[in-house]
Structure 1
Amino acid sequence: MHSEPRSGRLAAWGNALLAGLVSPDDAVLAIVGEDAVHRVEGLPGEEAPVGLTLALGRLRTLGVSGLRVALPAPGHPLGLSGPPDFNARALEAEEAVICQGAAFGLVPEAYEAGPAGDVHAEVVWHVLPVREAPPADVPSLGEAERELAEALREATEVLARLDVAGSGPVAEAAIDAYRARAGRGREVLAPGYPPRAVRVLELARRVGLLITLAAENGHGGAVSASEMGARTEALRPVERTARRAQVAAYNSVVEGRGAGR
Structure 2
Amino acid sequence: MFSEPRSGRLAAWGNALSAGSVSPDEAASAIVGEDAVHRVEGLPGEATPVGLTLALGRLRVLGVTGWRVALPAPGHPLGLSGPAEFNARAMEAEEAVTGFGAPYGLVPRVTEMGPAGDVRVEVVWRCLAVREAPPADVPSLGEAERELAEALRDATTALTRLDVAASGPAADAAREAYRARAEAGAEILAPGYPPRAVRVLELARRVGLLVGLAYDGGHGGAASASEMAARGAALRPVERVARRARVAAYNAYVEERERER
TM-score interval for Structure 1 and Structure 2 normalised by the shorter chain: over 0.9
Identity %: 78
Task: Give runs of aligned pairs for residues 1-261 of structure 1, distance below 5 A.
Answer: 2-166=2-166, 171=171, 174-181=174-181, 184=184, 186-218=186-218, 220-260=220-260
Q: Is the 8 A contact 2:168 2:219 kept in 1?
A: no
SS class of match (1:259): helix
| Residue 165 (structure 1) shift | 3.6
SS class of match (2:251): helix
Change beyond 3 A, Cα 1:235–1:219 = farther
Q: For residues 102 and 211 of structure 2, what CA distance do their matches in structure 1 show?
A: 36
SS class of match (2:222): coil
Change beyond 3 A, Cα 1:99–1:140 = same
Change beyond 3 A, Cα 1:43–1:117 = same
Q: For residues 182 and 97 of structure 1, what CA distance do their matches in structure 2 show?
A: 27
Q: Is the 8 A contact 2:159 2:234 kept in 1?
A: no
| Residue 247 (structure 1) shift | 0.4
Q: For residues 190 and 204 of structure 1, what CA distance do their matches in structure 2 show?
A: 17
Q: For residues 230 and 91 of structure 1, what CA distance do their matches in structure 2 show?
A: 27
Q: For residues 6 and 36 of structure 2, what CA distance do their matches in structure 1 show?
A: 13
Q: Is the 8 A contact 2:109 2:124 kept in 1?
A: yes
Q: For residues 222 and 46 of structure 2, what CA distance do their matches in structure 1 show?
A: 54
| Residue 184 (structure 1) shift | 3.8
Q: Is the 8 A contact 2:204 2:243 kept in 1?
A: yes
Q: For residues 221 and 251 of structure 1, what CA distance do their matches in structure 2 show?
A: 36
Q: For residues 145 and 259 of structure 1, what CA distance do their matches in structure 2 show?
A: 19
* Corresponding pairs, count: 261
Q: Is the 8 A contact 1:145 1:245 kept in 2?
A: yes
Q: Is the 8 A contact 1:167 1:214 kept in 2?
A: no
| Residue 212 (structure 1) shift | 1.3
| Greater shift in the superposed pair: 26-35 or 165-174 | 165-174
Cα RMSD after superposing both structures: 2.0
Change beyond 3 A, Cα 1:241–1:180 = same
Q: For residues 64 and 27 of structure 1, what CA distance do their matches in structure 2 show?
A: 15
SS class of match (2:111): strand
| Greater shift in the superposed pair: 163-172 or 202-211 | 163-172
| Residue 226 (structure 1) shift | 1.4
Q: For residues 234 and 131 of structure 1, what CA distance do their matches in structure 2 show?
A: 35
Q: For residues 10 and 179 of structure 2, what CA distance do their matches in structure 1 show?
A: 21
